[in-house]
Amino acid sequence: MKLSERKKAILKSIVDNYIAGGDPVGSKVLSESSEFKLSSATIRNEMSELEEMGYLKQPHTSAGRVPTALGYRTYIDSLMERYALSMEELQVLDDLLSTKLGEFGAFMEEAGRAISDMTNYASFTVLNDSVSVVNRYETLYVDDYNFLLIMICREGIIRNRHVKVHEPVNKKMLAAVKTALNELFTDISAEEITLPIIMKFEEKLGRYKSISSTILRVICEMLGSYDCEKVHVDGVTKLFSYPEFFNIAKVQSVLGLLEERRKFTKLVKSAIPGHTSVFIGDDEQSDVSLPDTGFVFHPISIGNKVIGAIGVIGPKRMDYKKVIASLNYFAAGITDTLNENTLNENPINDNTDTTGENEYGRQKDNG
């Protein structure tokens, strides 16, 4: 049965009121609102019909109504007003997006903390940190016995490693290393480095083949040490301020989902680039089973490939307007930055850290 405009207005008002207060909403609350010029009896009849249709439920006799999973889904899909981020909220997100993406994983964790503080819910970030494709390698002189080896990945991330060798570093050595790596070690995993490739690498290095074992060890570490998805959670204690999570078992069930890395990251990878995904915990159509819980995330992508996500977990009655607006704004900004950087002809970050291993996302040109 199609919802009438009056039923839509009543359902929207009930969801808005329940999100704001957390108490079941009765007909008296709506009839006293300037939004409706209807009697309490008329509103009560409409609410009863919405309950029969599956949009509302009554927790106990004589109580008001609360939205069901179907009610929330309808609200999110077609009734929810667009949330306008405040200047202060925009400034928080813009400050994040304007900073150097020095170490991308740390940047995402900081973004998660900011989103958690802004929304007052728990946040999570997922980073698919595997190197699927290396576009090219660069070398950078540090001093007479040290140079920086830079791995430029198609995912829009730059990784570097400080390499110490036993013979003097010069331009010819760096050129030979760079040429050999780009010919033999692009689009390859650590497991695919075979003896014939190693022998070809030594041959390409020519008079510098004595440093081949040092470079190969570094390459294997750089390729192999990132082959995982990283899940970071922030603001879990914020959930304890909501009645839905007074029961510690519910919080544990949320954390349990996040600990199931494979299931969780599979869910994120199935997301459509550029689209926010919303899961209602007890929705029969949802792959996530978390009663009284809402779960919202936005993927971070390069082209059509999802490389991570940022999201929020809170009570089922969370403020979806604000959460979705915040995630959309941040994710759109970082996705644009990463996609622009992928097309950049000269992606090397001049502020490389020569003291150890780091990841570098390339900075968006704000200038």
> For residue 349, is it within any domain?
no
Q: State whether 233 and 301 are in the same domain.
A: yes
pLDDT at site 56: 94
Task: Indicate whether 287 belongs to any domain.
Answer: yes
Cα–Cα distance between 170 and 259 in angstroms, integer? 48
**Domain co-membership, 71 together with 153:** no
Residue 167 and residue 115 share a domain: no
Q: Are 293 and 274 in contact (CB under 8 A)?
A: no
Same domain, 240 and 304: yes
- DSSP state at residue 304: T
Q: Are residues 119 and 237 in the same domain?
A: yes
Spell out the SS3 assignment of 252-301.
HHHHHHHHCHHHHHHHHHCCCCCCCEEEECCCCCCCCCCCCEEEEEEEEE
Print the domain residue range for 302: 87-129+228-342
For the segment 76-105, the average pLDDT, to the nearest whole number, is 77
The domain spanning residue 189 has which CATH number? 3.30.390.60
* Domain contains 358: no
Which CATH number belongs to the domain containing residue 19 in this structure? 1.10.10.10
| pLDDT tens figures, 294-353 | 889 998 877 777 778 899 999 999 999 999 999 998 888 887 776 665 555 334 343 333
Is residue 365 in a domain? no
Domain-ending residue, one of 227, 252, 276: 227
Q: Are residues 249 and 103 in the same domain?
A: yes
354 found inside a domain: no
CA atoms within 13 A on the CB side of 163: 31
Mean per-residue pLDDT, 350-357 = 36
CB 221 within 8 A of CB 149: no
pTM of the model: 0.64
- Considering the domain boundaries, does residue 351 fall inside one? no
Considering the domain architecture, whether residues 240 and 281 belong to the same structural domain is answered as yes
168/194 same-domain check: yes
Q: Which pLDDT score is estimated for 63?
A: 75
Q: What mean pLDDT do residues 159-182 have? A: 90
Q: Do 169 and 240 fall within a single domain? A: no
Query: In 3D, which of 88, 107, 82 has the Cα closest to residue 96?
Result: 107
One domain, residues 124 and 19: no
Does the structure show a pLDDT above 90 at 222? no
Q: Are residues 253 and 333 in the same domain?
A: yes
For residue 357, give the DSSP letter: -
174 in any annotated domain: yes
pLDDT average, residue stretch 198-214: 90
- How high is the pLDDT of residue 115? 93
Convert the pLDDT of each residue in 260-287 to its tens digit.
Answer: 666 666 777 677 778 888 888 766 555 6
92 and 57, same structural domain? Answer: no
pLDDT at position 221 over 50: yes
Q: Which among 124-133, 160-169, 184-193, 342-351 has the top mean pLDDT?
A: 160-169
Beta-sheet strand order (sheet of 293-302): 229-234, 122-128, 305-315, 293-302, 277-280
pLDDT of residue 134: 78
Question: Mean pLDDT score of the chain, rounded to an integer?
Answer: 80
Q: What is the pLDDT of residue 72?
A: 92
pLDDT digit string (tens) for 91-100? 888 877 765 5
Res 318: pLDDT: 93
Q: Which CATH number belongs to the domain containing residue 273 in this structure?
A: 3.30.450.40
